Amino acid sequence: MTETVTGRIIKGVGGLYYIAACGCVYKCTARGILRKKRITPTIGDNVEISVQSQTEKKGTIESILPRRNSLLRPRVANIDCAVITFAAKSPNINYDLLDRFLVLAEFQKIENIIICINKSDLAAAEEVERIYSSAYKVVHTSAAENRGTEELKALLSGKVSVLAGPSGVGKSSLINRLIPDSARQTGEISRKIERGRHTTRQVELLEADENTYIVDSPGFTSLSLEFMSEDELVHCFREFEPYLNDCRFGDCRHLSEPDCGLKAHIGKEIPKERYESYVRLYNELKNGR
Ligand SMILES: Nc1nc2c(ncn2[C@@H]2O[C@H](COP(=O)(O)OP(=O)(O)O)[C@@H](O)[C@H]2O)c(=O)[nH]1
Ligand SMILES: [Mg+2]
Ligand SMILES: [Zn+2]
């Protein structure tokens, strides 16, 4: 009888999936039935595999367990923690993009959302503290000087985390600090990929320790939220939550309605920048831009 084990897809190369299970890594192909059902195994998926060979660590993916969430860029499922990463300076913080990342992470119901301000050796980023720290954990790091990285590492322990943010803010440099052998882990597959196609970076879960994984991501310069409706937006602003029932009308959009209980808190508990961001994104979604 073949043995069945449950594991997590940590990387995929040319139809072959690497699955971490029971402290080892199995190389598996996907059962044809999954292709027929058009279910593509995704990095981060929890899967059941049948083991063909324990000595060679080979098996077949039999089924994919339900996903808690899934991102498209990078394509990865079951994220526990989103680390929205920007630089204190060079490049300067794009607050519109920061708020879009936060909305996306909230919309995906990612349980832990952290704002990481890297390059803290170059500037202080007090503005970020003022606007976001009441709702989100804000960590200040310097990958260059290896500061704040232990605090960040502790926050990510036991989780699958994705570092998201624009390019040039130091995501890859941070990952090198968090996982000193990440270059080796990445090197292993990029060598194999380099043979054929050109080297778009593969999505993979980099292992920090047995149950801690980090996903690097390409830099985003923009982020469209068109997959959601304007009515869902309000629930993606965490600061608004305590006041949503204070409005006169149950269907208050918190724009220009009278006696809006939420608006009474702007500039107090709700930073005005965050409310302005809500209004801007609301109009963008409503107008279908
Ligand atoms: N001053 C400073 N430079 C950094 C820091 N972290 C990364 N860099 C530099 O910023 C540039 C972009 O870093 P990289 O890790 O490739 O950013 P990514 O595009 O977000 O992955 C590189 O030249 C890094 O050496 C930091 O904490 N401080
Ligand atoms: Mg990078
Ligand atoms: Zn209202």
> Which pLDDT score, from 0 to 100, does residue 200 have?
44
CATH 3.20.20.60 fits 70-215, yes or no: no
**Does residue 134's CB lie within 6 angstroms of at least one atom of ligand 1?**
no
Cα 28 to its chain centre, rounded Å, is 25
Rg (C-alpha) for the chain, rounded Å, is: 21
pLDDT surpassing 70 at residue 140: yes
Report which ligand 1 atom has the smallest distance to the Cα of 219: 19
Measured distance CA(176)–CA(174) in Å, rounded: 5
Annotate 195-213 with three-state secondary structure: CCCCCCCCCECEEEECCEE
> Which pLDDT score, from 0 to 100, does residue 275 have?
98
> Which pLDDT score, from 0 to 100, does residue 201 have?
60
Report which ligand 1 atom has the smallest distance to the Cα of 145: 27
pLDDT surpassing 90 at residue 90: yes
Q: Which two tokens stand for residue 22?
A: 């029971």
**Does residue 142's CB lie within 6 angstroms of at least one atom of ligand 1?**
yes
Question: pTM of the full predicted structure?
Answer: 0.93
Report which ligand 1 atom has the smallest distance to the Cα of 143: 27
> Which pLDDT score, from 0 to 100, does residue 185 have?
63
Mean pLDDT of 160-187: 88
Report which ligand 1 atom has the smallest distance to the Cα of 142: 27
The domain spans of the chain are 3-64, 70-215, 230-286
* Residue showing tokens 């302005």: 276
Please tell me the distance between residue 260's alpha carbon and the centre of ligand 3 in angstroms: 4
> Which pLDDT score, from 0 to 100, does residue 197 have?
43
φ, ψ (nearest 5 deg) of residue 287: -85, 0
φ, ψ (nearest 5 deg) of residue 63: -155, 155
**Does residue 116's CB lie within 6 angstroms of at least one atom of ligand 1?**
no
Mean pLDDT of 32-42: 85
Measured distance CA(83)–CA(164) in Å, rounded: 6
> Which pLDDT score, from 0 to 100, does residue 188 have?
54
* Residue showing tokens 């960590």: 139
CATH 2.40.50.140 fits 3-64, yes or no: yes
Classify the phi-psi angles of 182: left when phi > 0, otherwise alpha if psi is within -120 to 50, otherwise beta: alpha
- Residue 219 · residue 73 · CB < 8 Å: no
The DSSP element (H or E) to which 118 belongs, if any, is strand 112-118
Task: Answer with the residue of higher pLDDT: 220 or 172.
Answer: 172
The three-state secondary structure class of 51 is: strand
Q: For the segment 124-135, what is each residue's pLDDT rounded down to a tens digit? A: 999 999 999 999
Which burial class, exposed, middle or buried, applies to 229 when counting CB atoms under 10 A from its CB (0-12, 13-18, 19+)?
Answer: exposed
Q: For the segment 20-35, what is each residue's pLDDT rounded down to a tens digit? A: 999 999 999 999 888 7
- Residue 115 · residue 98 · CB < 8 Å: yes
**Does residue 169's CB lie within 6 angstroms of at least one atom of ligand 1?**
yes
Task: Answer with the residue of higher pLDDT: 193 or 168.
Answer: 168
The residues whose Cβ lies within 5 A of ligand 3, an ion, are: 247, 252, 254, 260, 262
Answer whether the bond into residue 218 is a cis peptide, omega within 30°. Answer: no
Measured distance CA(68)–CA(109) in Å, rounded: 8
Mean pLDDT of 207-211: 91
CATH of span 230-286? 1.10.40.50
Please tell me the distance between residue 263's alpha carbon and the centre of ligand 3 in angstroms: 6
- Residue 273 · residue 95 · CB < 8 Å: yes
Name the residue of 173, 186, 221 whose CB sits within 8 Å of the most ligand 1 atoms, as the mutation to test its pocket: 173
